[in-house]
Each structure stands twice: as C-alpha cells, then as structure tokens.
Copies of this chain bind each other. A is one copy, B any other.
Amino acid sequence: MLAYTTIQMSAQLRSDGGETPIIPLPFCPHPQQINFFAPGSEIYAQGEKAVNIYQVEFGAVRIYRLLADGRRQISAFHLSGEIFGLEADANHHFFAEAITGTNLRVFPRSKLGDISQELFSLTLRSLTRAQEHLLVLGRQTAAERVAAFLLDLAERQGGLEQIEMPMSRMDIGDYLGLTIETVSRVFSKLKDTGIIALPTLRSAEIRKWNALQAMCE
C-alpha cells in the first residue's frame, strides 16, 4: 500500500543482520536470477498470469486476498528459504507483497519441467500449514491465535526464544482474523504476565514456553 523506495537498505539490514541464517535454501532446479523487492512493493497481483515461482532468499513476504470493501486476509507469511507463487491454474489467485526489503530467487514456471518430488512435498507442506491455520481462524480465541502465531514464528526461525517480526500489527491482525487493537491488547497482556518480552516493536522474546504452548491447547 505504501511505496517506500529509499528505506530499503535499512529494512534489509534489520531482517537479515543479527542472528538467524539457519534456514537452508535447497530448492534450486535451474540457474535463476535474484530480484530485490523494496518494502511494500508488489511481487504479483491477483488475476495476473502466473509465470514464475519464487523462493525467499532473505526478507519476508505476505500473501493475501481482499474483499470488495477492503477487508484483507493474509493467508501466509513467507520467510527465508520458503517457496511461494505456485498456482492451480494459469493465473494468481492472491496478491504477494514484500514486507521488508526482500531478495527473491525467481524460477520461470516454464523451465521447471517435470514436477520434482521436492516441489511436490513443499506444496503439501503449504497445504498442511493452510489447513492448520483454518483451525486457528475457525475455532480459537484472540489470545490463542496470537500464541499460535508466536510459536509458529519461533519454530520457523529455528526454535530460539528471540523472534523477529518483520510484519506490522495490521499484518498480524489480517493474518489472524483480528483487529490491530485486539492484537495489541493480547501482546500487552502476554507482556504483563511475563510470558513474552517485547524488546522492540518488531521483535519478541518468549519467556515461558509452556505457558504459551498451553494457550494453544
């Protein structure tokens, strides 16, 4: 929505520097190019012809859909190493945007050839992830959703207690089916009860793993 262009380097440093680079980038069937996307920039749009698939080298991406009145649902965040952009037919069914400055490996769909076992299993993992997120959206309370979100992020970042959250509160709300106010209130409550700490706005630290896990049932 907002078109930054000059800030990209600092955002890049934040999401890439520090700790982390634990996640491997194995998927690599062909020589491919790497493109940089500035924070907030569009990678593809709903309805657009799906010519490429993408792998995050570093940064973060949101996949989302919009209702006519502007309500937004983020169906997934993609972090380093993850693949996105595969579609069931010729066109994209969702929007994809870079959250922070993001480097993407671009694989032309035409050059993929036969479906590798690896690509298939990445797709199945996405499916499982989406189906599990359905449980969160359909049946969990606000507190449970945020807890599940934090644990999921932690796990995807190597299981450390320090979590990077490249996305805004609005992104988190649109992912969890909540408003920013509710997300914020839950964060505050978790902080007050000592379950997490919030060193900065875009990072969290899990202090009581069992308490957080217990919240998801």
Q: Which residues of A contact B (CB under 8 A)?
A: 63, 65, 67-69, 71-73, 75-76, 86-88, 93-94, 114-115, 117, 120-121, 123-128, 130-135, 137-140, 174-177, 217
Contact = CB atoms under 8 A, between A and B. Distances in A.
Most buried by B among A124, A130, A134: A134
Contact of A124 (B68, B123, B134, B139): B123
A195 B126 CA distance: 36
A164 to B, nearest CB: 23
Contacts of A68: 217
What 10 A-B pairs are tightest by C-beta distance, nearest first? A138-B177, A137-B137, A88-B124, A68-B217, A130-B130, A73-B135, A75-B131, A73-B138, A88-B125, A71-B139
Nearest to A128: B88
Which of A114, A121, A127, A137 has the largest count of B CB atoms less than 10 A from its CB? A127
A137 B175 CA distance: 11
A139 B88 contact: no
A12 B75 CA distance: 36
A172 to B, nearest CB: 12
A131 B88 CA distance: 12
